[in-house]
Amino acid sequence: MSKLNLPPVPSSEITPRDVWQGRRRWLKTAALGSLAVGAGGVSSAWAAGADAATLNVTANQKFALDEPVTDRKLVTTYNNFYEFGTDKGDPARNAGRLQTRPWTVTIEGEVLKPRTFDIDDLLKLAPLEERVYRMRCVEGWSMVIPWNGYSLSTLLSQVQPTGNARFVEFVTAVQPDNMPGVRSRIIDWPYREGLRIDEAMHPLTMLVMGIYGEVLPNQNGAPVRLAVPWKYGFKSAKSIVTIRLLEKQPVSSWERIQPQEYGFYANVNPTVSHPRWSQATERRIGAGFLAPRRDTLMFNGYADQVASLYEGMDLRRYY
């Protein structure tokens, strides 16, 4: 596993909730944030291509956590995004080339009303919420991130899934001139992921267009991605261009490459070890490499919300 290129950050330096919330409130009153566009609320500065434009978001206390939020610098510089390289620092170094405007997301397959949405359509489809989710990587590190968006079900309901829609496949962007990583053959591009329809429609499954009250940075999956907090991070597809509803289970990219290591479900399960390491504990990014590892929680701490989706399933077999 690649090493973090930043020095360890002690827990005392993790940005407290009141600090980053106060910063966001201040930004909203500043000049760049004063002219919100539409119900979704991206500032006019971002529409013109400015970086780190503020979003009009409302905190959803139903999805709040009594845990320190990971520092924004770490969230935006320590990433898995193989389209821009396999080192954790490669996405932040290389993703500036990603072309995010214009951008459309096409929804097709087992739907009554297939449709293509412009990114502005998605921003205006529903009010943007702030949800603080734990996120866990299969490699053993975790973060606490304030995502900005709304439930994926809000979008899928617009196209009216048919009774045959049992799975949802997500296909991500391929921009060979802007994504140096796609020149490698580590993955059969484009990157593909999938969920069962009931997982995709679950209220926790989030369509994300921002973090920390600002537009989603390129290296974090701009302009639109998923956040599925009870699954390992690779299930939260980035830079989505196609959503396809299917009758048969799709084969996701990592499942195709290394099926002995990465299953379709990828639920956070501390009792099932990765073939090359244990999943029983994790390290919270920002706590420092000398900090004690913490116990991994079943379903990443969201068991009360999602365990019923897998009632009767052998979670060691369906990993």
Of 32-41, 106-115, 271-280, minimum mean pLDDT range: 32-41
Q: Residue 287 — pLDDT band, cuts 50, 70, 90?
A: confident
The mean pLDDT of 232-248, rounded to a whole number, is 98
Please state, rounded to an integer, the average pLDDT across all residues of the chain. 87
Q: Residue 288 — pLDDT band, cuts 50, 70, 90?
A: confident
pTM score of the predicted model: 0.85
Tell me: pLDDT of 121 over 80: yes
What pLDDT score was predicted for residue 281?
Answer: 96
The mean pLDDT of 254-279, rounded to a whole number, is 95
Tell me: pLDDT of 26 over 80: no
What pLDDT score was predicted for residue 289?
Answer: 74
pLDDT tens for 153-184 read: 999 999 999 999 999 999 999 999 999 999 99
Tell me: pLDDT of 270 over 90: yes
Count the neighbouring beta carbons within 10 Å of the beta carbon of residue 275.
8
- CA 83, CA 100: separation in Å to the nearest integer? 14
CATH 3.40.630.10 corresponds to the domain 11-306: no
Q: Residue 291 — pLDDT band, cuts 50, 70, 90?
A: confident
Domains of the chain, residue spans: 11-306
